[in-house]
């Protein structure tokens, strides 16, 4: 049965097609997709790591289901959280900030089952090459920055901007698979056998 293991049904609390694709890649197909509707505004003085974990926990708690998987990915430059840009001007600002520098991508993942909620944060270091004004303008024109934390998608055109990462690639895409499978396995959700 799709999205179930040992009689458990998995609900993904995210509308992200990237998260669905990553889960499918490792044999996990949610039985339901129910995006969480929560306020994602950072609290005053909130640091990136606790912010990512708080959002994942709140999303998992906000969605009903047998087993619920929620995640939230943030890009941080030092203590500054670079969320999803609201417009092209903010995306440009983010790309200029990240150009030629190392930053962190943190994904909070949370799994709830039977009233219990388990969460963790996975961190990956990423370095962008120094970007020219033309590269930034071309990237903004592509529209790929829309809906992406930090204003870029490593699995798309921005792959050409990333000479180095330290840690989980799937984390930068939006879901650290090794850690996610560990939490899901503990909740009774296992990858489906190949057909």
In degrees rounded to 5, what are phi and psi of residue 183?
Answer: -65, -40
Task: Delimit the domains of the chain by residue range.
Answer: 4-186
Q: Do 46 and 80 touch, CB atoms closer than 8 A?
A: no
Tokens standing for residue 132: 């020219």
Q: What is the DSSP code (8-state) at residue 143?
A: T
| Domain spanning 4-186, CATH architecture | Alpha-Beta Complex (3.90)
Residue 5 pLDDT > 80: no
pLDDT one-digit tens code per residue, 167-189: 999 999 999 999 999 999 999 99
- Which pLDDT belongs to residue 193? 64
Active site residues: 72
How many beta carbons lie within 10 A of that of residue 20, not counting itself?
Answer: 18
Euclidean distance between CA atoms 93 and 195, whole angstroms: 46
Euclidean distance between CA atoms 96 and 77, whole angstroms: 12
Name 74's bridge partners.
Answer: 106
Residue 143 pLDDT > 70: yes
Return the exposure string of 96-128: e unless at least 16 CB atoms fall within 10 Å of the residue's CB, then b. Answer: ebbbeeebbbbbbbbbbbeeeeebbbbbbebeb
Residue 136 pLDDT > 90: yes
Euclidean distance between CA atoms 88 and 160, whole angstroms: 20
pTM: 0.92
Helix (H) or strand (E) holding 55: helix 48-62
Could you tell me which of 45, 65, 25 has the C-alpha nearest to residue 194? 25
Euclidean distance between CA atoms 116 and 6, whole angstroms: 18
In degrees rounded to 5, what are phi and psi of residue 120?
Answer: -155, 165
Average pLDDT over all residues of the chain: 94
**Cα Rg for the chain, rounded, in angstroms?**
17
């Amino acid at each position: 049965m799709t999205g179930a293991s040992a009689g458990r049904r998995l609900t993904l609390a995210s509308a992200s097609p990237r998260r669905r694709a990553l889960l499918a890649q490792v044999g996990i197909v949610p039985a339901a997709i129910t995006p969480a509707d929560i306020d994602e505004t950072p609290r005053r003085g909130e640091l990136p790591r606790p912010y990512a974990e708080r959002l994942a926990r709140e999303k998992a708690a906000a969605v009903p289901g047998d087993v619920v998987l929620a995640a939230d990915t943030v890009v941080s430059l030092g203590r500054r959280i670079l969320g999803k840009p609201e417009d092209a001007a903010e995306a440009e600002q983010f790309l200029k900030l990240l150009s030629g520098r190392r930053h962190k991508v943190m994904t909070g993942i949370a799994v709830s089952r039977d009233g219990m909620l388990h969460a963790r944060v996975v961190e990956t270091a990423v370095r962008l090459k120094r970007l020219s004004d033309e590269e930034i303008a071309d990237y903004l024109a592509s529209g790929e920055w829309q809906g992406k934390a930090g204003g870029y998608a490593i699995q798309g055109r921005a792959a050409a901007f990333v000479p180095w990462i330290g840690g989980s690639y799937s984390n930068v895409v939006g879901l650290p698979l090794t850690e996610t499978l560990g939490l899901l396995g503990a909740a009774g959700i296992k990858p489906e056998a190949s057909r």
